[in-house]
């Protein structure tokens, strides 16, 4: 018997391609167009519950813009943010009073310039407890509610990912993953990849006992080479 460490790689860097859209296809398409400079809209606000993928999408749209040669930056009230860039402002509901003024002023500079702004929060603009003039600005562009994936959509996405890797296993493996691990898609996909590696290392089929063993970080069962 030998010890096998629980080796789950960190989730891959967020991109628009590895975001599972579910019911958010229109939003992803709008962000892709914005990142490519192919949209007449320059202000997008998206909102949803914690874990719905808001931060993933903001990081992804900045990376997509950079890959397309477009300046991109996070909103930084302390050091200033270029108004000619695609700017992302995450969790605006947590902005302090001075930062709210900074975002309001940045919005106005972007509106008069050539940049764009993608902002996110945990509620629709009208429900944000921010200064009224900033709330008005955030609600003036495209506004999307970010819908989390249902368990059925997550299971289907995991099965597609597994199929692309040539993996086959019983449906209860996916059901157990959804009940006993982090439920955001990047973590679920990373865990599925770790399960594939663990299966190859132990030379055992992907089964529910193997998954339980991986999640518990238990010593591998004895096997012959």
Q: Are residues 113 and 135 in the same domain?
A: yes
Tell me the angle at which helices 185-202 and 171-180 cross, rounded to the nearest 10 degrees: 120
Same domain flag for 140 and 156: no
My answer on whether 35 and 139 are in the same domain is yes
Mean pLDDT, the chain, rounded, equals 88
Question: Which tokens in the block code for residue 167?
Answer: 């993996």
Residue 221 lies in a domain: no
For residue 192, the enclosing domain spans 151-216
CA 97 vs CA 75, 93, 100, 116, 127: distances in Å: 15, 11, 5, 22, 17
Mean pLDDT score, 202-213: 92
pTM confidence score: 0.79
Token reading at 160: 């597609």
Boundary (domain end) residue, out of 145, 169, 184:
145
Could you report the per-residue pLDDT of 92-148, keeping only the tens digit for each?
999 999 999 999 999 999 999 999 999 999 999 999 999 999 999 999 999 999 998
Q: What is the pLDDT of residues 100-109, one digit of tens each?
A: 999 999 999 9
- Residue 219: the pLDDT is 42
Total domains in the chain come to 2
Which CATH number does the domain housing residue 54 bear? 3.40.50.300
- The domain boundary, picked from 145, 172, 196, lies at 145
Could you tell me if residue 225 is inside a domain?
no
- Residue 121, Cα to own-chain centre: how many angstroms? 14
| Residue 15 counted as domain residue | no
pLDDT in tens, 35-93: 999 999 999 999 998 878 899 999 999 999 999 999 999 999 988 888 899 999 999 99
């Amino acid at each position: 018997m030998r010890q096998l460490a629980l080796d789950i790689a960190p989730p891959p860097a967020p991109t628009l391609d590895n975001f599972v859209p579910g019911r958010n296809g229109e939003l992803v398409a709008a962000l892709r167009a914005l990142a490519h400079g192919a949209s007449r809209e320059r202000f997008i606000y998206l909102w949803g519950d914690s874990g719905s993928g808001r931060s993933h999408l903001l990081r992804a749209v900045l990376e997509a813009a950079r890959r397309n040669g477009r300046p991109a930056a996070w909103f930084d009230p302390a050091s200033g943010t270029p108004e000619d860039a695609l700017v992302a402002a995450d969790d605006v509901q947590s902005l302090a009073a001075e930062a709210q003024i900074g975002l309001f002023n940045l919005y106005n500079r972007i509106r008069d310039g050539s940049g764009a702004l993608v902002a996110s929060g945990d509620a629709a603009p009208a429900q944000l407890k921010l200064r009224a003039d900033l709330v008005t600005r955030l609600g003036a562009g495209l506004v999307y509610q970010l819908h989390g994936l249902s368990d059925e959509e997550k299971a289907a996405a995991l099965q597609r990912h597994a199929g692309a890797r040539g993996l086959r296993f019983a449906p209860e493996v996916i059901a157990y993953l959804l009940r006993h691990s982090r439920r955001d898609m990047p973590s679920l996909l990373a865990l599925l990849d770790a399960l594939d590696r663990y299966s190859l290392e132990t030379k055992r089929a992907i089964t529910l006992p193997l998954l339980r063993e991986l999640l518990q970080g238990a010593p591998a069962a004895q096997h012959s080479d």
